[in-house]
Structure 1
């Protein structure tokens, strides 16, 4: 378990703008909430999640309202997500941007994980929030869940158009007795309470719309920065370490589980057990890593299909084509044409 649950201090950027636009003195209110601003200029500094929740409650109380979460979301700026914000901005679609957020979520916060699933004509963006081992209390208070989901919607509107709205918002929190209209007004869609998880549902048509700002090369540059940052944030994360080895060795062929275990200084059986404990397997990690890289390469017109297959560790083009068809239900040629 982490020593404490934290978020990037970049979250204070939209907080400060929302506070100032509502007549609150940012520095004075942070001091009152015992939040130090000395490290704010360091984009990699972190802030305890409980402190951010305290600041949110404090602002709602000062303003005698409940909607400060959406006020913060309205003042979102990509820089608050470090390089991840800019990697998302240069993604090929909203779907692609949200998957990138799910993959690099630990850069923003270690309080939850994000799962992306496709259901018929919908894309589900789902938060799984950690709980404290002793009390089982969620490490993110309801006000911060609202802030995060509202921020994702603001970011999505920046990418695909200001009129975009999710189809549904679900929250685990109980429906408040009064004053909950602000959420439906902000999201412009139904909001359900007391659900099993916190989530946003987007239509696939909206999520898969090609973005005019998409730039694969810029995205890859930012992902290198993010990979280095993740390495500093969480050097002991086994899944990250396994993926790092896979990324490095794929052009020479997919590494075996034995190779991975030896490089990590553990037995094959121990590696397999630890991955199962984390809800995954080596085969799943290899497959998702290959798919992610293949989609990035396919979007680059100057890289041939055979070279892409080689770069993601396939010995033959036919094997790569079969895997790509399984991943996307399209051939590489069909997929590249659809992205043009």
Structure 2
């Protein structure tokens, strides 16, 4: 407990929750944990989320900085059919293909996300649906239905929370860009310490360096790291990612940073993030934001 930046191992958290459920003769200790939510549980990330302009901003922020909380899953946000989907893509053990997170741990995390969302929006705020890839447990799950107050689906093709898109886009009274920026600076410093020996971070830095010359290939990066292409692919898979995903996220982050710099033309931005033509950049940007670069920039001016 002396190290405030330490994180409890997922397996130990699972054991703790199961032990408490057994001792208390109940199944809802995951919900009891979530109900005690405090922003500090997520380090500076919690406070950055609390000062976000919209719930969507907050959820995208936790996806971006999720390694501050855990390295056992990838968080993906996307819009679909009027819904905003917050998905957990959980890493599996290579030898058994078993998820590294148990159902009770995932319950705890999703319940905490919803508890946080209710702090931001309103205490009676509820999602449209909760999905788990896990099979429905043998015990009664009324406690989940009562807490989430929405449809619960087990044995789904994804683990996710489905929100109403319009609700996630509503402006929040607590939004404060200055507070957000202050805590994001702390988060970036914390991530830098995590990244010191992280392969993904090393690759991102090399991509940053090479992008103005065109997008580097996976083979280029493997050669730079002095490892075989197959070994690089295996190591990235073990970290729950791929070279394609790293390249895409790096380009997107750079593009989002550059797009608000009015002195840069759209063609210059496309060049800086490694696209050979403005058309290719426009298509990629629209894939990332559902807007053209020009429309997005105009919206930021308004």
- Shorter-chain TM range is 0.7 to 0.9
Match in the other structure for 2:216:
257
Q: Which residue of 1 aligns with 2:173?
A: 212
TM-score normalized by the length of structure 1: 0.70
The Cα of 1:70 is off from its aligned counterpart by 1.0
Task: Pick 1 or 2: higher relative contact order, CA cutoff 8 A, min separation 6.
Answer: 2
**Equivalent in the alignment of 1:153:** 114
Counterpart secondary structure, 2:110: helix
What is the DSSP-based 3-state SS (H/G/I as helix, E as strand, rest coil) of the residue aligned with 2:8? Answer: strand
Gaps of 5+ in 2: none
Given the alignment, which residue of 191, 200, 211 partners 1:239? 200
Matched-pair contact (CA < 8 Å) for 2:210–2:216: no
Contact 1:93 1:214 in 2 (8 A): yes
Gap runs ≥5 in structure 1: 1-39
1:304 paired residue number: 262
SS at match of 2:92: coil
Gap change, CA 1:274 and 1:137, over 3 Å in 2 = closer
**Paired residue for 2:48, among 66, 87, 112?**
87
The alpha-carbon distance between structure 1 residues 293 and 164, as it changes in their structure 2 partners (threshold 3 A), is farther
Q: CA RMSD in A?
A: 3.7
1:48-76 CA-to-partner distances (Å, cap 9, x unmatched) read 22222222122222322111111111111
- Alignment match, 1:73: 34
**Aligned counterpart in structure 2 of residue 167 of structure 1, from 128, 133, 139:** 128
Q: Report SS of the residue matched to 1:125.
A: strand
- Residue 305 of structure 1 and its aligned partner are, at CA, apart by 5.9
Mapping of 1:1-340 within 5 angstroms?
A: 40-246=1-207, 253=212, 256-257=215-216, 261=221, 264-266=224-226, 280-281=242-243, 285-295=246-256, 303-304=261-262, 306=264, 313=272, 319=278, 322=282, 324-325=285-286, 327-331=288-292, 334-335=295-296
Paired residues of 1:239 and 1:275 also in contact (CA < 8 A): no
CA distance in 1, matches of 2:95, 2:274: 49
Distance 1:224 1:256, change over 3 A: farther
Work out the CA distance in 1 between the residues paired with 2:213 and 2:293. Answer: 20
The count of corresponding residues between Structure 1 and Structure 2 is: 294
Query: Distance in 1 between the 2:247 and 2:31 partners?
Result: 39
